[in-house]
Every structure is written in C-alpha cells, then in structure tokens.
Chains A and B, each alone.
Chain A
C-alpha cells in the first residue's frame, strides 16, 4: 500500500522500482496524490537547471593535491580541514568490509585515513612490485598510489584477480620492502580523528632513517609536540618498550613531512606510532596515541 508521502520520492526518482510501481497503482485512484504529482513534478528539473559548476581550476588543484599526497605529503600550500572539535571518535577504521561509519548521531565519527604504500608508475604491470620509497609520478599522468587493500567483498573473477594482485603487491611493500633496504609503513589514526601517515624507513649504517609524512593531525597545542616512535611488542605505559625516532610540530595545515633517524633495532621495535607529548623534559611516552601502524 503506497504512502501519500511517496509522492515526493516518486517525483524525485528516489523510490525503488517496486515502490514506484506501487505508487503508480495508487495514483490511479487518488486524486490528491495525482494533483501533487502535477504540482511538485517540475521541481527536480528546476534544481538540476540551477546547478552551479565548480571552477575549472578546481579539477587540476584536486588532482594535484592527491598526486602530492601520493608523493609523500608535501602539500603545495593547500589547507587541510582538521578534525572537528568535539567529533565523536571514529573507532571503526575503514576496511574489513565495513561501511563508512553509518553514524546515527549528528557528530558521526570521522573516518581515519588509510595509509599510503609505495607508488606505482603508470603502465607498470600489476604483478610487478612497486619500488618502495621511489614515489615520483609520471608527468602529466595521474598515477595514484594504490590505497591500502582491506578485505572487500568484490565479486567477479576479473575484479577478484586484480585485487589479489594489488593486495599482494601492497603486502610486499608493507612487510619487507625490496633489496634497496627501504620499507614503507602505513599509519592510521589510533582512536580519534582523521590522521594518517606514511613512513618510508631506510636502514643505514647509523640507524633507521625515517621520512615521515603525516596529514589530518590537529596542530599541536602550545607546550606539546608530536613524537614518532619505534614500538616493540608488549609496550605499555607502565612498562614501555619503545624508542623515539624524533619529535616534530604540526601547523594549521594538519600535515608535515619530516626526516629523522633512530638507532632502534628493527627486529625488536618493528612497529611505528605517533603520540602527542608534553614538552616537559620527560622522554617517556605519556601522551595519547594519534597514529599507529595500520593493522
């Protein structure tokens, strides 16, 4: 039985086929709905006709912003909106087939960004391993980094095959890197906010050199700074098992790219994280976690 309110969905085209068919049957015997269809039927095309096109330059700016992010986070001066104050925690990380946080409250949780693995040049066959750390995209061609694969439920053999290959390549980069001695570690927001990051880690004689790019982090308040860590298993606040890689600040843009070095033994401290620490002269980790290694 069709609802009178369905005249809106009918006119807007947002009813399902079954609902629309039921409503048409209803129309045959409902004068009120028939006259409403006549009254309201022209509105969707008026709205379509009043559409405003975005400025042409926005397209290139947007594609450039993504390409820049793909290349390691050096934003060409564009401002990133930070997480909203008082936003409910986006505890659900993207992935594992999870829909983008269908929040029921007005402050629906922010979705943390997904980490970015090494770049792939356009035209490279999907089976080849991307060169970790070498992230220069080809000129004039959008060569997006493959965003990290999660368990998805794509069906279709071709799609599945592509995904398997893509996942294998990404997994390769995240697990160990190639003979060049670099690894890329994807970082995602720990509990709250929209932060994400990518650390390209290179083993040198003096230690592990880290080129860390972060974005979507709130600017560090006065009296604090962000700290990057190498973290070992069993690390807790009471019994820490971590080594600092360095400290840095994040401005209003929410992003930063920094280079640091740490003597932390990769075998003992394989994971990475970023916390916000008080500038109090205490080297221990006491602040909240903002970024953790993507699971």
Chain B
C-alpha cells in the first residue's frame, strides 16, 4: 500500500476539507465550522499576546475575514491549515499591536466566573493566565502555538519565521519560565 504523503494527509484533513468547502460553497456552513474550530484558540492567543479583550475580538474577526479571502490560495504542500491560520493571526496581531490607537499591554485577569466563585479551577485558570502574562512575548507566543499540540515544531518555525532549533530551545526555556511563574503563584502543576 502506497504511503500517504504529507500533502495528502494535509489535504485530507478535516480542516482542509472545510477550507475547500469555503471555496466551493459546500457545505454552506464551512466557514462557521472553521470558526468553531479555531476562534477560541485565536481569541486566547490574542488575549494573551495583546492583553486586551477588544483587540482579541478584533483579531478573531480579522483573521476569519482574511481566511475567507485567501481560502482558495491554501497550498497543502506547504503546511497545515492550522499553521496557515496562525500565520495570518500572528501577522494581524502584530498589526494590531502596532496600531497607534492600541492600548498599552495590560494583562487582564480571567473572568471566567462571577465574583465570589472561588473554585480551584477558576483560581488556577486566573493564576495560569497571570503567569503567562509575566513571560516574555517570545516565550508566551511559542507556548501559545504549542500547548494544544496541533502544530508541530516545524509548523511553528514557519509561523514564527525562526529556525527549528530555535523553536526547540525556546520551547524549553518558555516551559521552564512558565513553571517558575506558576510556582511563584503557588501552582505546582
């Protein structure tokens, strides 16, 4: 049985099928499905990179608009849909960051629950996001792209425009930095 090339694997992936669906119009909700798949990730990425909820929302919106516009140009031979999406999101985040009207970075605590809710999960989530906010932008960014495991290091290297070896070392130091920041907040995950 012939081996499946990585291009085949990418082109056959559910995300790629959805992207193709955006181009062909079938299914008509392909874009909506892509939104369900990626919006949360991009929002989190935007929130942690830009430190501002409104900018994070803008990032999500603009990323999907551009994804829609450029869906026909996706080349599965060059990488996964996820890497394609994140390359776009990152560029837009850089633009948003540089826009004169953007507010300076202010780490926002997670408000996943109403005040008074002190469940461990919420407190941990708050601490994790605060810890992430103390990391350098480079460390935060590489962790943001890595932690779900759906981008491989080679994809991350492509998205960030850095060598693979740098992704490896930076990932390591980023994890160590996060570990330390969490320990300072009493989280020993």
Within 8 A of A (CB), among B110-166: 110, 112, 121, 124-126, 128-129, 132, 143, 146-149, 151-154, 156, 158, 161
Whether the Cβ atoms of B20 and A162 lie closer than 8 Å is yes
Task: Give the chain B neighbours of A148 by CB distance below 8 A.
Answer: 72
Q: A5-B168, A15-B152 are in contact. Are A85 and B98 (CB under 8 A)?
A: yes
Q: A43-B179, A100-B87 are in contact. Are A95 and B73 (CB under 8 A)?
A: yes
Whether the Cβ atoms of A82 and B99 lie closer than 8 Å is yes
Residue of A83, A116, A159 with most partner-chain B CB within 10 A: A159
Q: How far is the CA of A106 from the CA of B110 in the complex (A)?
A: 29
Task: Give the chain B neighbours of A50 by CB distance below 8 A.
Answer: 110, 124-126, 128-129, 132
Q: A9-B168, A9-B171, A122-B28 are in contact. Are A150 and B95 (CB under 8 A)?
A: no
Nearest residue, chain A, Cβ from B40: A53
Residue in A45, A54, A155 whose beta carbon sits within 8 Å of that of B7 in the complex: A155
B187 shortest CB reach to chain A, Å: 7
Q: How far is the CA of A119 from the CA of B156 in the complex (A)?
A: 35
B20 shortest CB reach to chain A, Å: 6
Task: Give the chain B neighbours of A62 by CB distance below 8 A.
Answer: 35, 39, 60-61, 64-65
Whether the Cβ atoms of A58 and B57 lie closer than 8 Å is yes
Q: Does B44 contact A (CB under 8 A)?
A: yes
Task: Give the chain A neighbours of B11 by CB distance below 8 A.
Answer: 154-156, 159
Q: A52-B47, A85-B98, A152-B73 are in contact. Are A39 and B20 (CB under 8 A)?
A: no
Task: Give the chain B neighbours of A276 by CB distance below 8 A.
Answer: none
Number of residues of chain A lying within 8 A (CB) of chain B? 90
Contact stretch, chosen from A107-115, A173-181, A229-237, A241-249: A107-115
Q: How far is the CA of A48 from the CA of B132 in the complex (A)?
A: 12
B58 shortest CB reach to chain A, Å: 7
Whether the Cβ atoms of B74 and A14 lie closer than 8 Å is no
25 example contacts (A-B, Cβ-Cβ < 8 A) are as follows A9-B171, A14-B152, A15-B153, A46-B187, A46-B189, A52-B112, A54-B56, A63-B31, A63-B35, A81-B58, A82-B99, A85-B98, A97-B78, A98-B73, A99-B78, A100-B87, A102-B158, A107-B94, A142-B31, A143-B25, A144-B68, A147-B23, A149-B23, A154-B11, A155-B11
Task: Identify 16 new A-B residue pairs, CB closer than 8 A, beyond the known A47-B178, A58-B60, A122-B25.
Answer: A3-B168, A8-B175, A12-B143, A49-B121, A50-B125, A50-B132, A52-B110, A58-B61, A66-B64, A102-B161, A107-B94, A116-B69, A144-B30, A152-B74, A162-B26, A196-B69
Q: A-side interface residues toward B, CB under 8 Å?
A: 3, 5-9, 11-16, 19, 39-40, 42-55, 58-59, 61-63, 65-66, 69, 78-87, 94-95, 97-108, 110-111, 113-114, 116, 120, 122-124, 126, 141-144, 146-150, 152-156, 159, 162-163, 166, 196
Q: B-side interface residues toward A, CB under 8 Å?
A: 7-8, 11-12, 20, 22-26, 28-32, 35, 39-41, 43-44, 47, 56-58, 60-62, 64-66, 68-79, 84, 87-88, 91-92, 94-96, 98-100, 110, 112, 121, 124-126, 128-129, 132, 143, 146-149, 151-154, 156, 158, 161, 167-169, 171-172, 174-176, 178-179, 182, 187, 189
